[in-house]
Structure 1
Amino acid sequence: MDVLYPGIEPHEHGMLDVGDGHRVYWEVSGNPKGKPVVVVHGGPGAGTNPVQRRHFDPSTYRIVLFDQRGCGRSTPHVSEPDADLSANTTWHLVADMERLREHLGIDRWQLFGGSWGATLAVAYAQTHPGRVSEIILRGVFLLRPSELDWLYRGGASALFPEAWAEFASLVPAGADPLVAYRDMVFDDDPDVRARAALAWSNWEGAAVSLIPNPALVAQYAATSFAVPFARIALHYFTNGGWLDDDQLIRDAGKLAGIPGRIVQGRYDIVCPPVTAWELRQAWPDSLLTLPTAGHAVTDPGVLQALREATDEFRLAGT
């Protein structure tokens, strides 16, 4: 049996003016009167895709997808050479989510986010706990310095030395890889920008799945994906996400009373399980599942655990 529900099309979509010159693409599929859930995509900068609708029973869920500022079908797009990211921060995105909830007339919604989407989901829930019915997280990333050090400053290089060598080859001796790559992906030379964005994206693509997945590797290697993915991510990472170093763990008490399910690949190299474990300890209303999987949402153990979580919550509180 396919773990994912059958593909569906949205029955509503639009562009929401969120201020600062930004318009955010949104769509709704599934049951118009169903339990509201919002998918918080990763990256930052990865955008939404049709598969994200398929984690939910369309007969019971009202499924909301949106493209965060600067990516996907939202405008202006970060791939534009003169893109201004000054009004693109974690807290702008939290405000955008709240504006979208109000626009759609939703009282409370379930949050479903993976990787960077987990960061943003937790930040939103800690800001607006009364608007959250449940939270499902996958491949937990909370944008702490230790997490950035692991993936981008050499920790994971011990496991993927050949891919790391390619990634590090563009970094000047003694330079911070995050700063060096940020400068390259915003360089005036389009060739420098494209080369750096592809190298950045290919590094994560090499480590994302427990078993190498050619389709995922190809996705990360596509310029149309890599450029917004790298530019927005580096903008966020070099600014610490506008978060205190341990803020989302420190403030986990604000999630009290919100049921949570955390699905974390046991062999996740991009976001090692220690972060999910620490969040679980700080959030007693959550449960942690550790399938034999890597970071990718397409890893079978992850898909199965997510299906179980969305099915468990689909009638809760209705």
Structure 2
Amino acid sequence: MDPAVRKDLYPHVEPYQTGRLRVSHVHTIYYEQSGNPGGHPVVFLHGGPGAGTSPGNRRFFDPEFYRIVLLDQRGAGKSTPHACLEENTTWDLVADIEKLREHLDIPEWQVFGGSWGSTLALAYSQTHPDKVTGIVIRGIFLLRKKELDWFYEGGAAAIFPDAWEPFRDLIPEDERNCFIAAYNKRLTSSDPDVQIEAAKRWTMWEMLTAHLIQNHDTIKRGEDDKFSLAFARIENHYFVNKGFLPSDSHLLDNVEKIRHIKAFIVQGRYDACCPMMSAWDLHKAWPEAEFKVVPDAGHSANEVGIAAELVSANEKLKSMLRK
């Protein structure tokens, strides 16, 4: 992690509890708790989908104030079975978050997520608004066709042509009318070698574009077979199914359900993965939410300006909750 980012975050803390929760006959999810056991609960929703959590995710929150809950969504991270697509939809994940809240005997909690985590945070909060005390979201992704087309069908390639070529070149020219569908064919192949090759190309494309200035640690993550398999298979599965949302504008159409909740939207101006048009559209639909554009940042939460704004948002919510 960039030393400049470290100074904006809270010190590393270890979990005081880890556990596994069986959420279906197929899936068991990993979760952990850190910080203050008697503190205000906050749930961290990771990106991807399929990325899983990491220890650094705890550091956005004051461990003396917050009871910090992290979970690995179905098929991701330490959850089992790894990279499994069966019974894996947005609404399954929304139900899992609610099952975990009940399992931990938490009446209500703050919701925090970036990228796909922002998608899931909105979907969960719109489904269970009475359980949400505040929302902090970053790198807004509304899972609309134009967003998927931008990143996977050639838009972002105009900025990152060098990173795009390996992603593009795996797919024969006669299948390039839809890269998401072409990759789905390979990521669900019966041949594990075909899956791995496609997974690494898919994952590396995102790792190379996630920062304003490419980050070695992020790129190295994309070289890991196990991480790439879950990240690519699950992400692609959601995208080929349009996020399992009933309409392209579903998350914008349902802002009314969460308008009363105190919320913060943080967006990197030069986010190539989830371009600012989505954050802007959400801001226009939800002007009550505090909207912060970081002028010198891309997509990742681990960029200096974004990390600082996320911590600042949590601090503002903390002050409100203390009143």
Fold-level similarity (TM above 0.5): yes
2:35 pairs with 1:30:
yes
Residue aligning to 1:289: 292
Q: What is the CA-CA distance between 1:285 and the residue it aligns to?
A: 2.4
Residue aligning to 1:101: 101
**Pick from 271, 287, 304: which aligns with 1:268?**
271
| SS of alignment partner, residue 29 of structure 1 | strand
Residue aligning to 1:173: 173
Q: What is the CA-CA distance between 1:317 and the residue it aligns to?
A: 2.9
Could you state the TM-score of these two structures normalised by the residue count of structure 1?
0.96
Decide whether the 8 Å contact of 2:35 with 2:66 is kept in 1. yes
Distance 1:77 1:225 in 2: 10
Q: What is the CA-CA distance between 1:21 and the residue it aligns to?
A: 2.1
> Which deviates further from its counterpart, 111-120 or 307-316?
307-316
In structure 2, the gaps of 5 or more residues are 1-5
| SS of alignment partner, residue 99 of structure 1 | helix
**Pick from 185, 205, 211: which aligns with 2:187?**
185
* Cα distance per residue 1:241-288 (max 9 Å; x no partner): 111111001111111110111110010000001101111111132011
Q: What is the CA-CA distance between 1:174 and the residue it aligns to?
A: 3.7
Q: What is the CA-CA distance between 1:86 and the residue it aligns to?
A: 3.0
2:82 pairs with 1:77:
yes
Cα RMSD over matched residues?
Answer: 1.1
Decide whether the 8 Å contact of 1:60 with 1:315 is kept in 2. no
> Which deviates further from its counterpart, 271-280 or 212-221?
212-221
* Cα distance per residue 1:113-143 (max 9 Å; x no partner): 0000000000000000010011000111111
2:289 is aligned with what amino acid? S
Decide whether the 8 Å contact of 1:22 with 1:69 is kept in 2. yes
Residue aligning to 2:311: 307
Distance 1:233 1:103 in 2: 27
Residue identity over aligned pairs, in percent, reads: 49
Could you state the TM-score of these two structures normalised by the residue count of structure 2?
0.95
* Cα distance per residue 1:85-126 (max 9 Å; x no partner): 231100000000001011111111111100000000000000
Task: Spell out structure 1 runs of 4+ moving beyond 3 A.
Answer: none
1:310 is aligned with what amino acid? N
2:132 is aligned with what amino acid? V
Aligned 1:225-264 pairs, distance under 5 A? 225-243=227-245, 244-264=247-267
* Cα distance per residue 1:126-179 (max 9 Å; x no partner): 000010011000111111101000000011111111111111101222421001
Residue aligning to 1:132: 132
Q: What is the CA-CA distance between 1:217 and the residue it aligns to?
A: 1.0
Tell me how many residue pairs correspond in the alignment: 313
In structure 1, the gaps of 5 or more residues are none
